[in-house]
Structure 1
Amino acid sequence: MRHLHRGGVLAAVLTLLLAGAAPAPAAGPDRYRNPVSAGFADTFADPVVVRGDDGIWYAFGTSDPLREGEGTAHRVPIARSTDLVDWTFVGDAFTADQRPAYAAPGSAFWAPDVRRVAGRWVMYMTVTDTTVSDDTFDTAVGVATAPSPAGPWTFADTPVVAPRPGAGGGYLWTIDPSQLTGADGRSWLYYGSYYGGISVTELSPDGLRAVGDPTPVAVDNKFEGAYALRRDGWYYLFASAANCCAGPATGYSVQVGRSRDPRGPFVDRDGRRLDVSRAGGTPVLTQNGNRWIGPGHNAVLTDLSGQDWIAYHAIDRADPYLDEPFGVNERPMLLDRLDWIDGWPTVNAGAGPSEGARPAPVTTGRVDARFDTSDLRGWRTEAGSWRAAGGTLTGTGTLASRTGIGGDLRVETDLRLTGADTAGLRLGAVDVRVGRGRLTAGTASTPLPAGTDLRNRHNLAVEVRGRQLVATIGPSRLGDPVARVTLRLPRPANGTLAVRAEGGPAEFDNVSAARLYRPARHAVAPPRVGPVLRDWSDEFADGLDPAWRWVRQDPAATVSGGALRWPVQDADLTGTGNTAGVLLRDAPTGNYVAETKVTLDLGEETVRNYQQAGLVAYVDDDRFARLSTVAIWNTRQVEFGYELPFAGQPVYGGSIVGTPGTTTWLRLAHRVDPVNGEHEFRAGSSPDGRHWTWGAVWTFPADTTPRIGLVAHGGATPAVTAQFDYLRFHR
């Protein structure tokens, strides 16, 4: 959530606003279109979404103006929805004069993260300017609490993480917080950005103070926008890479690593750590050539069917700024399906951001009880006494739904043990209950973490797929279960759904039963790489092929021994300088894949900005896409950079695609869009020529003719030579 600009609602006002109904769906029943924030905002960056105690979904965004022409930044805007698709603006979390004592006048609040912690709602947010210094970016992680997601929100007097002086001057970027409750019940906070990297620290039980020493978990100068969750015994750290806010050249994307410990080390699918110079990161979400670029800064939520969804912001490449060019980047909120394939998350099975109408999240079910009235006609008392009032069901004994259940399904409820020894759900003949320090499903049982206070509201969820039952309990239903138990059923869990409390009263809310989601099993196929087109390729076996053409020829580049050797130039292509040489050749018509193998020894850790070498798709000096292995401060990355003319000047941005080695294989997969004729280039990289990471797509207008070439530039100190073994085209 790196911003290139700076930027409460009273309970009575919120009550009035919440009484309004959401607008009718725009894409038809059970369908939706991105951006989902269009009904109330043109921009809604860094979103996080929670389900409130009232069963309504709430979204929180960073402090920008919401509409074009508005001009005034909101102070953590809040929206609500009954279906995750159609949203209504509620108001701001904080009034214009509301700020913590340590915040400087004019400070903005960015990137909120909202969770239920210790029985209340807690918001963590970036405070952009504090009173510890005259620096206008001495950031801190602040915290506020509220009885509900709608507020009213009250700041704590001290920050959770105070401003941190940087060894190189200024203050480390203490931004983008994300809280997680671990399997042992302890609370953790992830935070940080490019200057200083991402760290995690333990929180006090009330979630309001950092305790102990922070642990670095992701390298600086590559990642920000952390979001953490736990699934199947793994902790997953989502983080966004590259610049969030380069207008029409924004290449922001989401990558992930996982660990068995909330403190890391987090590694990607290929075993590469996220906290080292050549940092890894498995792609989760990246632009695919459609309307949306720069998708990133995500949160994750789960609908009532058990399907995970990713909320994030992105930029419409045709409308990248909120008002004037180079001002506030317009970043509306998008929502897409998050699939888990072979233990790794990916958006729409790897297809990326959606643009057309899609199946909507499941936000109601066969059973869907909010208990907003005293009417219990859909239920029957089997034992004890029950009453409903004010959005809560309270009682002891057993209360059964009159609606039958069966098949693969997900059942859940929010519950509190106000006096009961145990409480929970009955699915057919199977009891799932919590209490006496345990989570129990039938004959299976597991202990709850020490200190788990079931007098605070927790979410109990049960999924049945075939004969397999999985039950979890956690405080926020945001990928934070503190206990999980599995049970093999002797027969399907058909019959009735009931709530149960033994030994005293318990409170239940938001009881639902919905058909269980169907998981995606296979990812979208990567670009096909066919046979080599020999007439278009060059193995550098006998000098330089006559088909090559230079833009600003570099006489230091030579061909010998089956390779092109090119000393890295003290020059560049970005901006208006345009001093670097480019070695080009025509590309085949239609779809193709261009590949090179480049060796460039950039060392480790040291700052060698911005030495690089690689492939380029080139129209002219102000419109190109450059895929190169590059030194970016202390890191080594594969960057897919892009420059285009916009509003009278060149604009440059980039996306990160894989991890480079000393030798790296690079590919550009070219596709002509059959609808609009645009040239789409998707980038891929490999450390061995066999295992490929595919990333972002950059597009060129249909009336251009991109050529393919090689570059080696970015700085001459220390002297280093790039070696290209070939340039091959594949059909």
Structure 2
Amino acid sequence: MPPRRFLAAALAVAVITTVAGTSTTAAAPPQPPVTTLNPISSSFADAFADPSIIQGRDGYWYAYATSDPLVANGPFGLMHMARTKDFSSWEYLGTVFNDTTKPAWAAPGSFFWAPDIRYFGGRYVMYFTVTDTLANPGGDPAIGVATAPTPAGPWTATDGPVVAPKPDGNGGYFGTIDPAMLTAADGKRYLYTGGFYGGISVTELSPDGLHSVGTPTQVTVGDRYEGSYVVYRDGWYYLMGSSMNCCAGPTTGYSVFAGRSRSPRGPFVDQDGASLNESRVGGTTVITQNGNKWIGPGHHAFITDAAGQDHIVYHAIDRGTPWLTDPFGINRRPMLIDRIDWIDGWPRTRAGLGPSDTPQPAPATGSAAGINSTDPAGGLRGATRQAGDSLGGPTASISGAATTRQSAPGGSLRVDADVRLGSSFTTVLGGSVVATVSATKVSIVAGGRTGSAPLPADFNRTGWNKLSVQVSGTTVTARLNDAGLGDVYAEAQLAVPGLKVRSAPVSWLGSAEVDNLTVRAVADPVRRLAAVPEAGKLLAGDEFDGNGLGAGWTWVRPDSKAVVADGKLSWPLQNTDLVGSGNNAGLLFHDTPAGDRWIAETKLHLDVGEGDIRNYQQAGMIAYLNDNDFARLGDVSIWRTRQTEFGRELVARADGATSYGGAAIGRPAPTMWMRLAYHRNAAGEHVYRAGTSVDGVNWTWGASWVLPAGVTPKLGLYAHGDQTGVNPPPVATFDYLRFYTSK
């Protein structure tokens, strides 16, 4: 629609708004805020792993999880379903499949993992992992797909995988797991699949979403990411994936990282421009553990609430009760939810604070302006109540003009609805912001400016889609997509300096059927990262500027090959390790400062090449109680990748068996700086948070590990790793070890 016709539409609706405004009633008093407390699945399950979530046409939010038992000694089930109206109480709905309805092509005993839920084409579509197929029994994972008329089922699986098993050329199969679907602005549907073995790839789907077509594109390197999820925001596609081990009990360091691209096929790069698909792998932290009771947060999904606030839904492990069954059995992975803040263009959980363990504001549901979101006609003037269908319930039919009976708040405002569109449909906020879905595009007019985005040529306007119009500060966004899960058919965005939206009824012009209508003030955005540790006054350390080690050093299993010369400590990597039962590696410790808070820092040069296998050459810093209880931060070769790992080992079973896991952080480089920020928490436990830098100035702060109260751990350096194929071994060169006060 040309701008002149936009303005005419705006004027017409503004007149309606003015007339209606003379008889509007006062808004209903605000309701007490609803809060959530992690884990949000505790009322019906101890484990609800790999969650995905969608708002159904009936207004409920439906969550789905992998096939682990819900409780100790419970059945595995064939993926689980639950729902909520407001995130404060949940109802368990049973399993997705039973033995009769599960995919006929799955091998007996196959597991069903990681459901990904979507809505398009008038039905609910679920993608999921099948761990073993009848074609090659024994471990050939593939991706299945099922459809249902309602979000609670019944689910009908297709007669074959949507993504077939992928042979690795060595008699095995790559990890074709963890699907995530995206409808992109080019009108095509894409499926992201894969994991540590083989990396994540994106495959185009047929329009009905049930078949893969074309050639897959690999978007992440192997050995780093799984559990992908992709959202579109402000012109960027954000690929997020989980890293490290999901299921190492009390040493699980799972975390989520992101890269972005202008294309759904990538390449995806992080905030520093590092690729997710190269040996020295990149990734900007979305969520990682923070030292409270939650560890291993990951395998997530995103939702946007009625106030425009994004939330991350994920699983994590309570480090105090990590097992659903016996140690080294099934991990207890309940479902959690937290706020996502977009800071400098990147998604951060609670502005970088990570998983919450105290009450938090629940996602906003329901509507202001006198509207019952699931029966919207009663709150609208000029709309007709329709019976709707058995799934969605009553709807509002708009033909010509309609307006809310009550005024919407002024300022930042969001209008969100499921819609079936006529030839043209216009939404007006505050009498001055006009958003129109025409036959070919989504357009905005505000403050004398215009913006638009084209719709795909085959866009189906007669089916149910999600339409949101939002004013946040001086930015106006109009977005049309499948179901509000980060997908997009078209998003128009317009910056209008000085824009002020007054309190007025929301108005519509044109034709549409509307359901799940919400009108709400936009959540206040958080734009600054939470505070991170900062180094203050230098307390102690060693610059390695003498003829040997300075005062304060002690060894565990001395290594005579570690030499101080030319202002550096040079230490050839030992062909050994601390993990497991070996415990024969050398460790070099320095006295730590007095007090309950400080930062240790070292500068490390370690060249372990790129792209080849050097498991697990590494060097860095270590916080150490004994050979079976430590946390170490290192630059490490993990198969063909180079990563920065903050690992943890502890005794996990009464017979002395140990568990080891790690959290990734930052991007490695041949020369890098490392920090461990130490503090003692209220329980007397020793908390270490890892930070890394590639220039010594700009720091990336990541995961925290907690060591038990009592004896204060030692702090020092290590240089370990298998030397297979490398002679002489690489040399770790440390420029110094310093201790600072922590601001």
Above 0.5 in TM-score? yes
What CA distance in whole angstroms lies between the structure 2 residues aligned with 1:664 and 1:486? 40
Q: Does 1:58 align with 2:62?
A: yes
* 1:666 matched residue in structure 2: 674
The answer to whether structure 1 residue 240 and structure 2 residue 242 are counterparts is: yes
Note if contact 2:614-2:723 (Cα within 8 Å) is conserved in structure 1: no
1:18-37 correspondence runs (5 A): 29-37=33-41
Question: Following the alignment from structure 1 to structure 2, what is the Cα–Cα distance between the partners of residues 693 and 370?
Answer: 45
Output aligned runs, 1:311-390, within 5 Å: 311-367=313-369, 369=371, 376-381=377-382, 387-389=386-388, 390=393
User: Is 2:722 the partner of 1:723?
Assistant: no
Residue 166 (str. 1) matches residue 168 (str. 2): yes
Question: Contact 1:184/1:450 (CA < 8 Å) preserved in 2?
Answer: no
Aligned to 1:297: 299
Report the counterpart of residue 253 of structure 2 in structure 1.
Answer: 251
Q: Is 1:84 paired with 2:93?
A: no
In structure 2, the residue corresponding to 1:323 is in which secondary structure? coil
Q: 1:480 Cα shift?
A: 1.3
1:608 and 2:614 correspond:
yes
Aligned-partner SS, 1:218: coil
What SS is found at the alignment partner of 1:248?
A: helix
SS state of the match for residue 496, structure 1? coil
Q: 1:68 aligns with which of 72, 83, 92?
A: 72
Amino acid at match of 1:724: F
The question of 1:641 aligning with 2:647 is answered yes
User: Are 1:679 and 2:686 an aligned pair?
Assistant: yes
Aligned partner of residue 66 in structure 2, secondary structure: coil
State which of 495, 498, 501 in structure 1 corresponds to 2:504.
Answer: 495
Unaligned runs of 5+ in 1: 1-27
The answer for the alignment partner of 2:199 in structure 1 is 197
- The worse-fitting range, judged by mean Cα deviation, of 677-686 and 359-368 is 359-368
Residue 490 of structure 2 corresponds to 483
* CA shift in 2, pair 1:583/1:540, >3 Å: farther
Encode CA deviations 1:114-166: one digit per residue, 9 max, x unaligned.
1113332110100111012132x210011001112111111011211100011
How far apart, in 1, do the equivalents of 2:247 and 2:489 lie?
Answer: 36
The structure whose RCO (Cα within 8 Å, separation 6+) is larger is 2
The offset of 1:431, in angstroms, is 4.2
- 2:349 & 2:674 partners in 1: Cα distance? 24
Displacement, 1:601? 1.3
Aligned-pair CA distance for 1:564: 1.2
| Range with greater deviation from structure 2 (164-173 or 362-371) | 362-371
From 454, 457, 463, the counterpart of 2:464: 457
Cα displacement string for residues 381-402 of structure 1 (whole angstroms, at most 9, x for unaligned residues): 27xx554443322352223221
| Match status 1:281 vs 2:286 | no
Q: How far, CA to CA, are the matches of 2:379 and 2:323 in structure 1?
A: 51
Alpha-carbon contact 2:543-2:735 (below 8 Å) kept: no
Deviations 1:313-338 (A, max 9, x none): 00000000102111110000000000
Shift of 1:665: 1.1
Q: Is the 8 A contact 2:219 2:267 kept in 1?
A: yes
CA contact (8 A) 2:542 2:550 kept: no
- Aligned amino acid, residue 413 of structure 1: A
**Contact map agreement 1:549 1:584 (CA 8 A) in 2:** yes
- SS at 1:215 equivalent: strand
The 5 Å alignment of 1:120-139 reads 120-135=123-138, 137-139=139-141
Instruction: Select 1:550's aligned residue among 548, 552, 555.
Output: 555
Q: CA deviation at 1:229?
A: 0.5
Distance 1:269 1:320 in 2: 33
Do 2:59 and 2:374's aligned partners in 1 also have CA atoms closer than 8 Å?
no
- Trace 1:560-575 onto structure 2 (pairs within 5 A): 560-575=565-580
Q: CA deviation at 1:96?
A: 2.6
Where in structure 2 are the equivalents of 1:566-715 lying within 5 Å? 566-589=571-594, 590-648=596-654, 649-673=657-681, 675-715=682-722
C-alpha displacement of 1:685: 1.2
**1:369·1:512 contact (CA, 8 Å) conserved in 2?**
yes
> Match of 1:226, SS?
strand
Distance 1:665 1:486 in 2: 40
RMSD: 1.8
- C-alpha deviation, 1:563, in angstroms: 1.2
Deviates more, 1:276-285 or 1:584-593: 584-593
Q: What does the per-residue CA deviation read over 1:538-579, in whole Å, with 9 as the maximum and x for residues that have no partner?
A: 434331124211111112211111111111111110111201
- What CA distance in whole angstroms lies between the structure 2 residues aligned with 1:341 and 1:43? 31
Q: Which runs of 4+ in 1 moved over 6 A?
A: none
- Residue 413 (str. 1) matches residue 417 (str. 2): yes
Inter-partner Cα distance in structure 1 for 2:45 and 2:221:
33
Distance 1:447 1:79 in 2: 37
Deviation at 1:631, TM superposition (A): 0.6
The question of whether the paired residues in 1 share the 8 Å contact of 2:385 and 2:394 is answered with no
Tell me how far 1:371 sits from its aligned partner. Answer: 7.0
**Partners of 2:41 and 2:90 in 1: CA distance:** 6
Distance 2:670 2:209 in 1: 44
CA distance in structure 1 between the aligned counterparts of 2:630 and 2:270, rounded to whole angstroms = 30
Find the counterpart in structure 2 of residue 4 from structure 1: none
SS of residue matched to 1:399: strand
Q: Please report how far the alpha carbon of residue 441 of structure 1 lies from its aligned counterpart in structure 2 after TM superposition.
A: 3.1
Counterpart pick for 1:526 among 529, 532, 545:
532
C-alpha distance in 1, partners of 2:493/2:579?
A: 55
Query: Residues 457-492 of structure 1, C-alpha deviation per residue, up to 9 Å, x if partnerless?
Result: 111101123454221111111111221223549752
SS in 2 for 1:349: helix
Kindly indicate whether residue 437 of structure 2 is the aligned counterpart of residue 437 of structure 1. Answer: no
1:389-428 equivalences in 2 (<5 Å): 389=388, 390-407=393-410, 408-417=412-421, 420-428=422-430
Number of equivalenced pairs: 692
Deviations 1:200-239 (A, max 9, x none): 1111111111111111101100111100011000110001
Distance in 1, Cα, partners of 2:230 & 2:369: 30
In the alignment, what sits opposite 1:224? Answer: 226
Give the secondary structure class of the aligned counterpart of 1:405. coil
For residue 626 of structure 1, give the secondary structure of its aligned residue in structure 2: strand
Which sits farther off after the overlay, 398-407 or 483-492? 483-492
**1:33 alignment partner AA:** L
- The residue type paired with residue 686 of structure 2 is H
Gap change, CA 1:486 and 1:659, over 3 Å in 2: closer
In structure 2, C-alpha distance between the alignment counterparts of 1:278 and 1:656, rounded to whole Å: 12
The Cα of 1:493 is off from its aligned counterpart by 4.8
Contact 2:377 2:397 in 1 (8 A): no
Q: Is this contact kept in 2: 1:371–1:392, CA < 8 A? A: no
Q: Please tell me whether the aligned partners of residues 371 and 388 of structure 1 are also in contact (alpha carbons under 8 angstroms).
A: no
% identity of equivalent residues: 50
| Separation of aligned partners in 2, 1:371 and 1:670 | 49
Cα pair distance change 1:438/1:546, threshold 3 Å? closer
Deviation at 1:87, TM superposition (A): 1.5
2:273 aligned with 1:265: no
Within the candidate set 131, 135, 148, 2:150 is matched to 148
CA distance in 2, matches of 1:66, 1:622: 31
Partner Cα distance (1:215, 1:666) in 2: 34
Q: Is the 8 A contact 1:386 1:396 kept in 2?
A: no
Q: Does the CA contact (< 8 Å) of 2:107 and 2:137 recur in 1?
A: no
> Secondary structure, in 3 states, of the residue corresponding to 2:250?
helix
Q: Which runs of 5+ in 2 are unaligned?
A: 1-31
SS of residue paired to 1:530: strand
Indicate conservation of the 8 Å contact 2:63/2:82, yes or no: yes
One-letter amino acid of the structure 2 residue matched with residue 652 of structure 1: Y
Does residue 103 of structure 2 align to residue 100 of structure 1? yes
Alpha-carbon distance in structure 2 between the residues aligned to 1:146 and 1:161: 19
